[in-house]
Chain A
């Protein structure tokens, strides 16, 4: 069996006297979808930031297995290597699409940016690739020159996905990608994500407060409360037979919420 793609050991982060994240360890394998669930303030977004090296931890370490199979400590990575990793082998889908997209730039420019960042210099080819990806995320390629400002919430999220997947990353971080969308739009987006994840064999860490999202997308899940992981296991197992009282409460309130 291959070694994990991403491993974290003893991650901790404090904001003032408050521990936003305490002693979190995890392994993530290629093609695996891990959901981190919890209420707001539980530390799940902080954990995502730590894993994606956007936030530096007060303690702990994160290792990643690169395409050449070398496993490296991400905290010792130089800025240049880290940024290269983030725009090639990784993706990050933000809850707020305006944070994940360049809003003044056209849809095609948004998708093409990563290609240009890694040296693509043929306009026609960049455009063709962008059109292809727009189609894959079910956006009419005829809208390639439109600004994402004219897109609906669901379209913006799909554009964000295309923008991230165009360099064929192996690992994608998602921060509440469906929240704030209408239920029907959510369902379509979740379906798209599930299809793409399966087709491309992506590893995903997804943060969500919505247990239905976790059930639909993830293989495994972690439940967080007060900055700590209180329960972890296979998604079906955790949702159908929660051991911790807090998880039981979460699961039982999901329909009410």
Chain B
């Protein structure tokens, strides 16, 4: 136990060693059977169910004193829940934290896969609300477990068929179901389908934790992860017409930010670290301004104070020129 954790009165990374061993066994089983949901005795954590307790338990079970932890929510390091979880581990494990994807050894995420390609010495831990990809087609756990065991995934394709029949294309935009290693159908957690290709053949180990539903599953490095589709309606990802307004990145997932109530909006990188790295490297979007470290210059550890201060001081400056509604919307139509 390190000094930091000792001071808190809790074991390193909060969970007791016996619980960690139990979770590690579930993780190992998950790695051995890619995409299979392993039931585990999820503990009651000091944060609410549905707020990342599954991811937190997985992270706690794999975290060592030398790890460097990054926590993101919606791609951002500064969203309140990401800040809260990062703080939890800084306090209970005393590990170094970072906002930089390249520096992290463990990245806990909610709803995004970082834009920067992950390496074999990194682990990506997903927070999962509903691990069962068949849940909204079949609410019963007893029945869905049977469907997985028998590999009966016809129902999933009925759903995709219905989408195409009704809309001309699959209308699932996030939590898009995937087939893992040619066997189990898996919910990749509510990441946009844009991120699905990054899960496939990834260098890093990917672990998924669902605390309330008491399931852990895994995608080992270099595993084939295929998004479900039809031969004549292949899987496609979202594309954005305009680059990021701050760093001019293309081929990345963008957040839409509403600037005023007259239709003014801009599109910026959802992955804040990626965006900052690019701006530091001199890339400029059309709303970026000139200061390379603005608007959110940060050190290795997230400093909420400073962010807040900058926001305050900036709110006094002239408001940005609102862009017309651009992005992947109707303007992009031919």
Bound together? yes
Interface residues in chain A, defined as those with a beta carbon under 8 Å from any beta carbon in chain B: 79-80, 83, 87, 102, 105-106, 108-109, 112-114, 116-118, 121-124, 126-127, 144-145
Residues of A near B102 (CB, < 8 A) are: none
Q: With A122-B231, A124-B232 as known contacts, state yes or no: A105 contacts B152, CB within 8 Å.
A: no
* CB-defined contacts of A106 to chain B, threshold 8 Å: 162, 165-166
Q: Is the CB of B161 within 8 A of A112?
A: yes
B158 A102 Cβ-Cβ under 8 A: yes
Q: Please give the distance in Å from B156's CB to the nearest CB on chain A.
A: 8
List chain A residues, Cβ under 8 A from B49: none
B150-A123 in contact (CB<8A): no
A113 touches B165 (CB 8 A): no
A109-B161, A145-B165 known, 4 other contacts, Cβ within 8 Å: A79-B146, A105-B158, A116-B157, A118-B154
- The 6 A-B pairs of least Cβ separation, nearest first, read A117-B154, A116-B157, A123-B230, A116-B154, A80-B150, A122-B231
Q: Mark B87-118, 1 if CB is under 8 A from A, else 0.
A: 00000000000000000000000000000000
Among B155, B161, B162, B232, the most chain A Cβ lie within 10 Å of the Cβ of: B161
From 125 to 164 in chain B, residues with beta carbon under 8 angstroms from any chain A beta carbon are 146, 149-150, 152, 154-155, 157-158, 161-162, 164
B232 and A108 within 8 A (CB) = no
Residues on A with beta carbons closer than 8 Å to the beta carbon of B157: 116, 121
Contacts of B149 in A (CB 8 A): 80
Cβ–Cβ contact A122 & B230, under 8 A:
yes
Residue B233 at the A interface, CB < 8 A?
Answer: yes
**Which residues of chain A come closer than 8 Å to B232, judged between CB atoms?**
122-124
Q: How far is the CA of A126 from the CA of B233 in the complex (A)?
A: 12
How many Å lie between the Cα of A108 and that of B164 in the bound state?
11
Name which residue of chain B comes closest to A113, CB basis.
B158
Question: Which residues from 224 to 281 on chain B have a C-beta closer than 8 Å to any C-beta of chain A?
Answer: 230-233
Closest to B161 in A: A109
Contact of B150 with A108 in the complex, beta carbons under 8 Å: no
The answer to whether B162 touches A114 (Cβ under 8 A) is no
How many A-B residue contacts, CB cutoff 8 Å? 52
Check if B150 sits within 8 Å of A113, measured CB to CB. no
How far apart are B264's CB and chain A's nearest CB, in angstroms? 39
Q: Determine the residue in chain B with the shortest Cβ distance to A124.
A: B232
Residue contacts A-B, CB under 8 angstroms, 27 given: A79-B146, A79-B150, A80-B149, A80-B150, A105-B158, A105-B162, A106-B165, A106-B166, A109-B158, A112-B158, A112-B161, A113-B154, A113-B158, A116-B157, A116-B161, A117-B155, A121-B157, A121-B231, A122-B230, A122-B231, A123-B161, A123-B230, A123-B232, A123-B233, A124-B232, A126-B230, A145-B166
Check A83 against B165 for contact (C-beta < 8 Å): no
CA distance A79 to B146 in the complex (A): 9
CB-contact partner of A126 in B155, B161, B166, under 8 A: B161
Give every chain A residue within 8 A of B152 (Cβ-Cβ).
83, 117
Report Cα–Cα, A114/B161, bound state, in Å.
Answer: 12
- Contact residues in B for A80 (Cβ distance below 8 Å): 149-150
On chain A, the residues within 8 Å of B162 by CB distance are 105-106, 109
Q: A141 → chain B, closest Cβ, in Å? A: 13
Question: Smallest CB–CB gap between B296 and chain A, Å?
Answer: 45
The residues of B that contact A114 with a CB separation of less than 8 Å are: 154
- Please measure, in the bound complex, the distance between the C-alpha atom of A144 and the C-alpha atom of B232, giving whole angstroms: 19
| Partner pick for A83 among B150, B164, B231, CB 8 A cutoff | B150
Q: From B165, which residue of chain A is reached at the shortest CB distance?
A: A145
Beta-carbon contact of A108 and B165 below 8 Å: yes
B164 — which chain A residues lie within 8 A by C-beta?
Answer: 123
Q: In the complex, what's the smallest C-beta–C-beta distance from B142 to chain A, in angstroms?
A: 12
B233 cross-chain contacts in A, Cβ below 8 A: 123
Q: How far is the CA of A112 from the CA of B158 in the complex (A)?
A: 7
Residue of B nearest to A126 (CB): B161
Query: B14 → chain A, closest Cβ, in Å?
Result: 41
Say whether B161 contacts A108, CB under 8 Å.
yes
Cα distance, A1 to B221, chains bound together (Å): 58
> Separation in Å of the A148 CB from the closest CB of chain B?
13
Which residues on the B side are within 8 Å of A105 (C-beta)? 158, 162
Residues of B within 8 A of A118 (CB): 154
CB B203 to nearest CB in A, in angstroms, measures 29
